[in-house]
């Protein structure tokens, strides 16, 4: 006998006390009663409880491009208490094998990569003594499911991706990013001093490029499609002569095709573990009653890379703020980032100037700003898609997704998005304006 849960794609087997969901080609048991006991025990730090019932229910959201999201609800009785407690957790599975993005996850093992970050890498790095910068992790099964803290239950929300972050939200983002980088730097420095190894020696398998791979057919198609979309939006810029439009388009084309090499680990600056995907869908803020941020989580670690920390810092500003706040507060954000890193390293008995001199960080930031512009114009076309477009292409037809991601319909896509969402056009045109003003004619030799 079986009963259907709130998610029609999942079935609760009442006789076997487990739950199955369609993962991969066949339905797979994703959670059992034994798993639920482990999750609650890790959450509470105690086994003084009894599980009364539980369910795994789809969130029915399309915010995630590379996974299916669920709420795990668990009813427990603690010790001798008479009243029951309701616990909620966030769960993530690979998308169904019929979804357009499933092949990407299988090809690059990104689901298991993220799980290893939470289960292996973060415990070795540590999270520091300051505010938490990522949700708690409780359980993972390869190719099947991850269960962690439900950040929404803890008061965290994902901001509106069409609204640039203000100063207070940026301060929290920069502090948490610096803390994350600091833990990487501390771990790497201790490894070097103790054994001559680096983080890359131990965890290089988690730090390989998965999106922009040199000589990869699909990556090249994505970049060429991005050039078409960017060129269509250059035509929407006001006040440009035909020669100026041609110049901007040519610069964008020359830079975008070089992204795979530009994103390689640096041979000049010190590399650390970088998130490489710090945009609002991967940032959650907790706010007080007045709307002011009081906490920040960085989530989704599928694209982890071995790069200079300036890459994350600069990318986060260009992907999440407007030009006015970058121009006005850039030096302030550098100071906040650096002060946080200095404090974190000092708490571990390390001198930041010996590990990563400020002058090197500032220099690397300046060099990476042109790369950030290129990365933004190639990716914001997809990042800023409206919810309707995400549902149409990332949940709907694989064939349609191929055309708009890798084919000839990118121009049609971006122009339709401009018509349906004014903020889409505004955000991307602003990046194009800065490209016009500062991007060199040619990328550096790489």
What pLDDT was estimated at residue 25? 44
What pLDDT was estimated at residue 2? 26
CB 24 within 8 A of CB 94: yes
**DSSP string over 351-404:** -HHHHS-HHHHHHHHHHHHHHHHHHHHHHHHHHT--HHHHHHHHTT-HHHHHHH
- SS3 of 71, please? strand
Specify if 301 maps to a domain.
Answer: yes
Specify if 18 maps to a domain.
Answer: no
Specify if 387 maps to a domain.
Answer: yes
What pLDDT was estimated at residue 65? 61
What pLDDT was estimated at residue 229? 97
Nearest to 206 by CA among 116, 143, 278: 116
**pLDDT for residue 385 is more than 90:** yes
**pLDDT for residue 151 is more than 80:** yes
Specify if 213 maps to a domain.
Answer: yes
Scored b (16 or more CB within 10 A) or e, 352-387 reads: beebbeeeebeebbebbbbbbbbbbbbbbbbbbbbe
* Top-confidence range, 28-42, 74-88, 169-183: 169-183
Q: Return the CATH number at 219.
A: 3.90.1200
Query: pLDDT tier at 116 (50, 70, 90 boundaries)?
Result: very high
Specify if 403 maps to a domain.
Answer: yes
Express as a percent the part of the chain with pLDDT over 70: 90
Specify if 216 maps to a domain.
Answer: yes
Total domains in the fold of the chain: 1
Model confidence pLDDT, tens digit, residues 248-282: 999 999 999 999 999 999 999 999 999 999 999 99
Specify if 168 maps to a domain.
Answer: yes
What pLDDT was estimated at residue 68? 85
Distance of alpha carbon 287 from alpha carbon 391, whole angstroms: 28
Query: pLDDT tier at 228 (50, 70, 90 boundaries)?
Result: very high
What pLDDT was estimated at residue 1? 24
Q: What is the pTM of this model?
A: 0.91
What pLDDT was estimated at residue 398? 64
Two tokens, residue 301: 């670690």
What pLDDT was estimated at residue 352? 97
CB 262 within 8 A of CB 443: yes
H/E stretch holding 436: helix 422-438
- Domain residue limits at 195: 129-135+146-438
Specify if 59 maps to a domain.
Answer: no
Express as a percent the part of the chain with pLDDT over 90: 80
- For residue 281, give every residue at least 6 positions away whose Cβ sits within 8 Å of its Cβ, in sequence order, or none: 63, 64, 158, 161, 300, 383
């Amino acid at each position: 006998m079986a009963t259907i849960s709130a998610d029609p794609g999942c079935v609760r087997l009442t006789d076997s006390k487990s739950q199955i969901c369609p993962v991969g080609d066949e339905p797979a048991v994703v959670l059992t009663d034994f798993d639920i006991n482990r999750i609650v025990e890790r959450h509470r730090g105690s086994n003084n409880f009894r599980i009364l019932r539980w369910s795994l229910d789809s969130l029915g959201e399309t915010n995630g491009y590379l996974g299916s999201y669920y709420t795990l609800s668990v009813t427990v009785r603690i010790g001798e208490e008479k009243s029951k407690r309701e616990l909620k957790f966030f769960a993530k599975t690979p998308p169904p094998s019929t979804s357009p993005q499933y092949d990407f996850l299988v090809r690059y093992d990104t689901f298991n990569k993220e799980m290893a970050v939470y289960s292996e890498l973060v415990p070795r790095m540590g999270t520091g003594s300051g505010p938490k910068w990522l949700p708690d992790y409780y359980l993972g099964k390869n190719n099947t499911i991850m269960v962690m803290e439900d950040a929404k239950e803890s008061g965290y929300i994902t901001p509106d991706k069409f609204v640039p972050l203000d100063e207070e939200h940026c301060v929290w983002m920069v502090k948490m990013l610096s803390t994350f980088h600091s833990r990487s730097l501390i771990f790497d420095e201790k490894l070097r001093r103790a054994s001559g190894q680096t983080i890359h020696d131990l965890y290089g398998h988690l730090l390989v490029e998965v999106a922009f791979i040199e000589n990869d057919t699909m990556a090249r198609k994505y970049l060429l499609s991005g050039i078409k979309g960017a060129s269509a939006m250059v035509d929407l810029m006001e006040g440009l002569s035909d020669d100026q439009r041609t110049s901007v388009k040519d610069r964008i084309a020359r830079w975008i095709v070089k992204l795979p090499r530009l994103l390689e680990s640096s041979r000049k600056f010190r590399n650390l573990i970088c998130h490489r995907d710090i945009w609002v869908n991967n940032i959650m803020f907790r706010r007080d009653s007045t709307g002011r941020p009081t906490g920040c989580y960085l989530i989704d670690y599928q694209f982890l890379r071995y790069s200079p920390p300036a890459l994350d810092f600069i990318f986060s500003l260009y992907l999440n703020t407007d030009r006015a706040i970058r121009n006005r507060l850039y030096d302030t954000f550098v100071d906040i980032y650096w002060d946080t890193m200095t404090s974190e390293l000092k708490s571990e008995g390390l001198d930041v100037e010996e590990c990563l001199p400020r002058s090197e960080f500032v220099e690397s930031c300046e060099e990476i700003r042109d790369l950030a512009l290129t990365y933004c114009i190639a990716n914001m076309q997809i990042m800023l898609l409206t919810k309707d477009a995400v549902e149409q292409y990332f949940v709907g037809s694989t064939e349609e997704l191929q055309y708009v991601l890798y084919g000839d319909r990118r121009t049609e896509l971006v122009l339709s998005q401009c018509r349906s969402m004014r903020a889409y056009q505004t955000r991307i045109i602003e990046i194009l304006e800065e490209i016009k003003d500062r991007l060199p004619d040619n990328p550096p030799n790489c």
